[in-house]
Amino acid sequence: SRHILKTVALGQMLSLCICGTAITSQYLTEKYNVNTPMFQSFLNYCALFLIYTVMLAFRSGSDNLLDILRRKWWKYILLGLADVEANYLIVRAYQYTTLTSVQLLDCFGIPVLMALSWFVLRARYRVIHFIAVLVCLLGVGTMVGADILAGREDNSGSDVLIGDILVLLGASLYAVSNVCEEYIVKKLSRLEFLGMLGLFGTIISGIQLLIVEYKDMASIHWNWKIALLFVAFALCMFCLYSFMPLVIKVTSATSVNLGILTADLYSLFFGLFLFGYKFSVLYIVAFTVIMLGFVLYCSTPTRTAEPAESSGVPQVTSIGIDNLGLKLEESGLPETQSAAL
């Protein structure tokens, strides 16, 4: 149906943004020997700060920047810390472990995300949702197998155990960040999420940048090509962070994370032309399997458990459709009726 096609299209738009960050990062590393993941994240948080935090500061009413800081400053510090460290740990893990380990263990974030959604967002899944997740993970396994057969797995890593632990921690922090994002954009506002993340993300990543990457920054031999790659990376990350809350609002954090599993495959397809990767038919198979699982997950509504008003009243569950926002848009209902529904 149309709402499933829209969900698939939105998910692949996010995957292409992630693909852009991967390609620019690889160019910086391989062509110019620049490895500064924290500085690259810092650029993104600065862009969020300049746009969304400033907008939040000029917002009138009780939900402006100062009022939010007064009431919830410590919560957003924790959110910013989780998001910054998730980005950093995943990238840093590549120095210790293998590409295969990162690709496989990064999927650990999906069951963590589902568990957190169960307890925090009160999401209730059907059997078909678990089957869909398994199908997506099967597609990831196929992709990793294709990498090995194509000879991309040529780095054994310096300390595999440390690298694997970093991936698991990073994937778990991503899940925490995504659940918080879904709660904020659905219960509060997208502007509040992006504005507060831009504020504390800039502060935290800036401090960490000075601690762990000041030598790497000083050793960069700047030219217009390196500067352009940094700008391209920041633009892709900014688009990803700006659009993801919109997609999560009309779907869910779990479906978004399933959809962006194809990002590695897009990077591989572009790598065939840019970096001389070897082609394997298994890449096409992996993409098809992941998309099949993604569509299967989105095709069936989830349930949202409603808290009981008192201990003597049995708990009632209501049906919550991941794509409810898209369905309302298609139905053409007036805004007041959509809000009531």
* Inter-residue contact 163 to 157 (CB < 8 Å): yes
Of 194, 304, 316, nearest to 244 (Cα)?
Answer: 194
CA distance 36 to 218: 11
How confident is the model at residue 328, as a pLDDT? 44
How confident is the model at residue 104, as a pLDDT? 76
CA distance 32 to 34: 5
For the chain, which residues make up each domain, given as ranges? 1-304
CA distance 231 to 225: 10
Longest dimension (CA), the chain: 69
Q: Which residues contact 188 (CB under 8 A, 6 or more apart)?
A: 63
Q: Which residues contact 209 (CB under 8 A, 6 or more apart)?
A: 38, 39, 42, 217
Query: Which residues in the chain come in under a pLDDT of 50?
Result: 309-331, 333-341
Q: What is the pLDDT of residues 211-261, one digit of tens each?
A: 988 888 888 999 999 999 999 999 999 999 999 999 998 888 888 888 888
Q: What pTM was estimated for this model as a whole?
A: 0.83
Neighbours of 47 (CB within 10 A): 19
How confident is the model at residue 51, as a pLDDT? 96
How confident is the model at residue 273, as a pLDDT? 79
How confident is the model at residue 153, as a pLDDT? 56
